[in-house]
Amino acid sequence: MTVLLMPRLRSATKTIPIFQVMPDEAPGSGHGDDGLSRRSSLYGLPRGAEIAAVFQNKDTHNRIAKVVKGQPEIWDLMLAALDGGVLVPNHRIVGQHQASLRMLFADAPLRLAQQIDLRKGPERAFVRDLLLPAMIADRKALLRNPDRLGPVMHQCGRQHVARQRKERHKEATQQALASMPSGQAEVIMFGERLWPRTHDRYGSYDFEQLTTAVWTFREFETALCVGHRDQPQSRGILIRHSTKFLNEYCSRMGEAANGMRMVLRLVHLLTTLMERHPDAECRPMPAPAIDG
């Protein structure tokens, strides 16, 4: 409230007081609907009065306003942290032109807080999707011991890397399926996609080699199901033993038998996959009709 000294003037009808309240600061006239003063740097932001009450240092209000201007996603994260119970009243002063984790968790150790820059889209997405939910879930222990933020960040980082790896694999698979030549088919055996190939973890084989391996494996497996229906591990061992002389032949032929050697490796791979996950999805290529 601004108070001005005014001279006392005599009038026939009334006396003007020495102290006069300016109209623009009359009670209620200088505040928005949420009770925040129009002079506040946070005025006009959704629930600005709540954030102003949390960050009790006025200089911090100005710094927050500069950071969130044009980046409302950061403000949304702050409100989520407030609602989640990790953003509590404090006297912290956030860094000039910085957007670290201290905007969401004021007691975050500085060395950890500065690892995150909320102005960067990927880091903001990491906080929104993984880190902040984990912090909220662990808020009681986190508020008691802010150093717990380190293990929480580490665990979320591992989840983030795994998610990125999965997304890259999915994208590579979609591209491979879209570019697959006509006459070929997607092949999944015991939960593993073997065609189209998106990696060389099982060796560098072609569709013809995989086709021969799958058909050979299924012939053996079908025949052995009669006596070993409920024992996939036993069937896998028997199939590997049944191909031992073919392996011996390949070893004698040297490089000339590289193609056959890869087919046998794939057959053995199929037996291993069956032993690990006998009930997982199988989607083999159609087998041809062969007489004899």
pLDDT, tens only, 97-143:
679 999 999 999 999 999 999 999 999 999 999 999 999 999 999 99
Long-range contacts of range 30-39, CB-CB < 8 Å, 24 or more positions apart?
A: none
pLDDT, tens only, 185-241:
999 999 999 999 988 889 999 999 999 999 989 888 887 876 656 678 788 888 887
pLDDT, tens only, 1-19:
343 333 443 444 444 333 3
Spatial separation of the C-alpha atoms in residues 124 and 140, rounded to whole Å: 23
Spatial separation of the C-alpha atoms in residues 223 and 204, rounded to whole Å: 29
Pairing of strands 187-189, 192-195: antiparallel
Place of tokens 């690892």: 115
Query: How much is the mean pLDDT over the chain?
Result: 83
Long-range contacts of range 147-154, CB-CB < 8 Å, 24 or more positions apart?
A: 147/109, 149/101, 149/105, 149/108, 149/109, 149/112, 150/109, 150/112, 153/112, 153/115
Record the pTM. 0.61
